[in-house]
Amino acid sequence: TSRQLLAALPELGKVSRGQIAALAGLAPYNRDSGKWRGRRFISGGRSCVRRVLYMAALAAIRHNPELKVFYKRLKEAGKPSKVALVATARKLLIHLNAILARHFKKTSSNTCL
């Protein structure tokens, strides 16, 4: 997972959480018009990253206590399984983005010119 993310998503840690979700194809888009509200959907982005994160989220809801609770909370709120799983994958990606952003910030402040 980490190799695929670093290879296919070089922007990881360098852009905002919304931008990284859109690049991975995990950002929810609305289909609204006037008073009519359509369903939200994900689209675009890099499908290879989305596939890897989907599988990572599937493993995470079984073995990671925080993401397991997050997934269960969404399911109890009435969300369909795949919607909850995609939300978990997005949460995982945003967390990884924050970790790398913190790392880049720390290493850039320690460099000498």
Each residue's pLDDT tens digit, 44-99: 899 999 999 999 999 999 999 999 999 999 999 999 999 999 999 999 999 999 99
Please report whether residue 36 resides in a domain.
Answer: no
Please report whether residue 72 resides in a domain.
Answer: yes
What's the pLDDT at 20?
A: 95
User: Residue 101 belongs to what domain range?
Assistant: 1-30+42-110
Please report whether residue 37 resides in a domain.
Answer: no
pLDDT of residue 107 exceeding 80, the answer is no
Q: Report angle CA 15, 29, 41 to the nearest 5 degrees.
A: 120
Which structure tokens are listed for 80? 């369909």
* SS3 assignment for 53-106: HHHHHHHHHHHCHHHHHHHHHHHHCCCCHHHHHHHHHHHHHHHHHHHHHHHHHH
Q: Specify the amino acid at residue 92.
A: L
Please report whether residue 73 resides in a domain.
Answer: yes
Please report whether residue 104 resides in a domain.
Answer: yes
Q: 2: burial class by Cβ within 10 Å (0-12, 13-18, 19+)?
A: exposed
Please report whether residue 47 resides in a domain.
Answer: yes
What's the pLDDT at 82?
A: 94
What's the pLDDT at 81?
A: 95
Please report whether residue 35 resides in a domain.
Answer: no
Which structure tokens are listed for 4? 């695929």
Residue located via tokens 């006037």: 34
Residue 3, helix vs strand vs coil: helix
**Number of domains, the chain:** 1
What's the pLDDT at 36?
A: 75
